[in-house]
Amino acid sequence: MPKVALVMGSESDLSVLTPAISTLKRFGVELVVRVLSAHRTPAAAAEFAKTAEEQGIEVIIAAAGKAAHLPGVLAAYTVLPVIGVPVQSSALDGMDALLSIVQMPTGIPVATVAINGAQNAALLATQILSVRYSALRGALRGHRASMTAQVEESDKRVAQEVSSIE
């Protein structure tokens, strides 16, 4: 079974990550969810990343706000792919977290999604896993098809609403 770790810097990040959790569960991905802080529990964060492969984890999603060094620190201790989610939890509206995550120095990449873009992090993790687990490719195509159907319905609904406007 494919396995993803979802790591957040603080329990206060959890609400932002709920869409990622439900998306991964919907795709049948096994989840390890941890609260680990790069500055409050640095040893535990390092230990987690060092042993992630042994734990059977294949992709790590790491979410953090403010200075947001958690994804980069985890990435430094593992060669597993790390996807960073900048969390909007500061007076700077998440721009601080976005820049901290996206501007990783050369050599230790962190794939970065939008501020609070947890669902895209889950989808990207699933796409990475789908290279190995071909059933996920079908599930991802199904997900895209349902988005297409939703937009087509919206298109018809809006056309109807517009035609009734005088």
Q: Which positions lie near ligand RP5, rule CB under 6 A?
A: 9-10, 12-13, 37, 64-66, 87, 89
Question: Distance between the two ends of the chain, CA-based, in angstroms?
Answer: 56
Q: How far is the CB of 15 from ligand RP5 (least distance, A)?
A: 11
Between residues 42 and 81, which has the closer beta carbon with respect to ligand RP5? 42
- What are the tokens at 107? 């050599």
CB 20 within 8 A of CB 6: yes
Tell me the sheet residues that pair with 84. 62, 112
What's the closest the beta carbon of residue 58 comes to ligand RP5, in angstroms?
Answer: 23
By beta-carbon proximity to ligand RP5, the closer residue of 120 and 143 is 120
Assigned token pair, 156 = 């018809």
Toward ligand RP5, which CB reaches closer, 92 or 145? 92
Residue 10 vs 140, nearer CB to ligand RP5: 10
Place of tokens 């999604």: 113
**Minimum CB separation from ligand RP5 for residue 116, in Å?**
11
Amino acid identity for residue 163 in this structure: S
Q: What minimum distance in Å lies between the beta carbon of 93 and ligand RP5?
A: 12
Q: Which residues of 45-70 are buried (b: 16+ CB within 10 A; e: fewer)?
A: bbebbeebeeeebbbbbbbbbbebbb
Closer to ligand RP5 by CB, 2 or 84: give it.
84
> Which residues neighbour 51 within 8 Å (Cβ) at sequence distance 6 or greater?
none
Give min distance, CB of 160 to ligand RP5, in A: 43
Q: Are 133 and 126 in contact (CB under 8 A)?
A: no
